[in-house]
Structure 1
């Protein structure tokens, strides 16, 4: 499993994506046997599936987000909602300077409540940011979010079967 995208600057220039996918995971406990990066690994897999199916730019994951409810567990690292909001705003501004104005957030942690505010504020002038509620909702919602921003009716699944956006619920 590859957690980081490997596209080059030339790849991005040739693809000319209009939408970017940002996986947001977390670094927290998941019991005795799962690694601290479990949420990040799940969102990376979902984001890679979207990138394989749709013409999007895949960003590396944000691996630390809001999880103060897990603070008592060894290994957990958390940032404030304000910091996560600021990081996403900065990423959006950087993307906008390169001509990409649409962002799909693949959220891997239920405690990232601030993401609903990020989406709401970003979409005041029209649809530009979409987010799945959490990775537990699966690839369908994340893919639907991507398709709704791309504006295409059909993307290809990673298994090369066409999928119709009109058959899936809008996010």
Structure 2
């Protein structure tokens, strides 16, 4: 699996895309069977699927973000919300100078709450930035792929993430997902107490349900849902 786009400057000039797509991942624990780059890999996989289906400019990923709730697990690295905001703001400004005024942020990590604020502020003067996938996009994908778990129970390193990687990057999935299921229950103080308060393994979800077929169906659903975001930005013609 190649996480980086390989387009040349000439490719972009010829295509003249109106929308850029920016994958945002994380570098955080995902149990013993998925790598620290899981969220980045998934954001890039979704980005590539979207770029294959729509005339967008796929950017390389932001690989570290706001994973502070995972800090108790070895290997996790975070940056501050203000840093993530500033980096994306700079990227937007650079894109605008090159003639691309619309951006879709593909978020692979649920803890990147600041991305919603970026979208909120960017669109004051009209649609310019969208955040994808939204909760509704994920829920539709779960339904379309006939996943056994729901979004709350399958929060982290579970059925949906493992399925996507089994389909698109099986080399990243190590042995162990078949017996790693963990129900974290209600998690009202996750951001106060961190993931360790709800899981010792780092897993909250049901990776034993994962299959490559489900991952393929999830990605197909998300690719279809992306059209709604282009329409919202006014660039679906």
Q: Normalised by the shorter chain, which TM-score bucket?
A: 0.7 to 0.9
Asked whether the 8 Å contact 2:28–2:36 carries over to 1, the reply is yes
1:5-24 paired onto structure 2 within 5 Å: 5-24=5-24
What does residue 85 of structure 1 align with? 85
2:57: which partner in 1? 57
Q: Higher helix fraction: Structure 1 or Structure 2?
A: 2
Q: Secondary structure at the match of 1:91?
A: helix
1:32-71 counterparts in 2 under 5 A? 32-71=32-71
- Displacement of 1:43 in angstroms is 0.7
Task: Give the total of aligned pairs.
Answer: 152
Gaps of 5+ in 1: 154-171
Checking the alignment, whether the CA contact within 8 Å between 2:18 and 2:235 is kept in structure 1 is no
Aligned-residue offset at 1:118? 0.1
Moved segments of 4+, more than 6 Å: none
Counterpart of 1:110? 110
Inter-partner Cα distance in structure 2 for 1:118 and 1:44: 20
TM-score normalized with structure 2 length: 0.61
Q: Tell me: CA distance 1:143–1:24, structure 2 relative to 1, closer, same or farther (3 Å).
A: farther
User: Is the contact made by 2:230 and 2:236 (CA closer than 8 Å) also made in structure 1?
Assistant: no
3-state secondary structure, aligned to 1:131: strand
Shift of 1:152: 1.9
What does the per-residue CA deviation read over 1:6-29, in whole Å, with 9 as the maximum and x for residues that have no partner?
000000000001100000000000
The answer to whether the 8 A contact 1:50-1:146 is kept is no
Cα offset, 1:145, TM superposition: 2.0
Q: Which runs of 5+ in 2 are unaligned?
A: 142-221
Aligned match of 2:236 in 144, 149, 152?
Answer: 152
* Offset, 1:146: 3.7
TM-score after normalising by structure 1: 0.84
Contact 1:46 1:142 in 2 (8 A): no
Question: Residue 81 and residue 142 in structure 1: after superposition, are their counterparts in 2 closer, same or farther (change >3 A)?
Answer: farther
CA separation in 2, counterparts of 1:141 and 1:78? 29
Tell me the SS of whatever aligns to 1:126.
Answer: coil
**CA 1:148–1:50: 2 relative to 1, 3 Å:** farther
State the SS of the aligned residue for 1:148: helix
CA RMSD of aligned residues (A): 1.6
